[in-house]
Amino acid sequence: MKKLLLLIVLLLMITRAFAEEDKGSLTNVRQPAPVFSVTSIEGVQFDVEQLRGNIVLINFFATWCRPCMAEMPELEKQIWQRFQGKDFIVLAIGREHTNKELKKFKRRNKYTFPIAPDPKRKVYSLFAEKYIPRNYLIDKQGKIIFQSIGFKKSEFEELINTIENMLQ
């Protein structure tokens, strides 16, 4: 009886953990991506509607977020360096960061993908309420085809595989 009770409690905890992971999401796979525009720290305007015809990866991060900082080098090496120039765009958006902060961050880490500030969470709030890092992969028609919360190697590999399949 104790084992059964323990199993039930454990299953409830696991269910709650999975439910908590989805909390804060305002988007779903297969829906059109929210419409927004941002200006990168280099001064390039990115309008999600004008990016149609490309596969677009939007990454929300913060420089104080440990999982974000673990993910960013992988984003550079395994995704941007591999797929850039193939109708593919990465746009990393620094949640609650200024241009000045992000310029220093990008220079220090030698990232080459576009980074844009979102100091007041205006863009982020179209996608989610909480939790970073977040990745949204948008197809050539402007629909979300993949989204993830946090940084897990298995999900990151799934993201890479999805990009590969979309670019074939």
In this predicted structure, what is the pLDDT of residue 18? 46
Range of the structural domain that residue 51 is part of: 30-167
**Model pTM score:** 0.85
Q: In which element (H, E) is residue 105 found?
A: helix 99-109
pLDDT in tens, 141-163: 999 999 999 999 999 999 999 99
Cα-flanking dihedrals φ and ψ of residue 55, to 5°? -85, 130
In a domain, 23, yes or no: no
Instruction: For residue 62, give every residue at least 6 positions away whose Cβ sits within 8 Å of its Cβ, in sequence order, or none.
Output: 68, 94, 95, 96, 97, 132
Domain count of the fold of the chain: 1
In a domain, 91, yes or no: yes
Closest to 28 (Cα-Cα) out of 131, 126, 122, 145: 145
Q: Which tokens hold the place of 82?
A: 């591999």
Q: SS3 for 167?
A: helix
Mean pLDDT of the chain: 90
In a domain, 6, yes or no: no
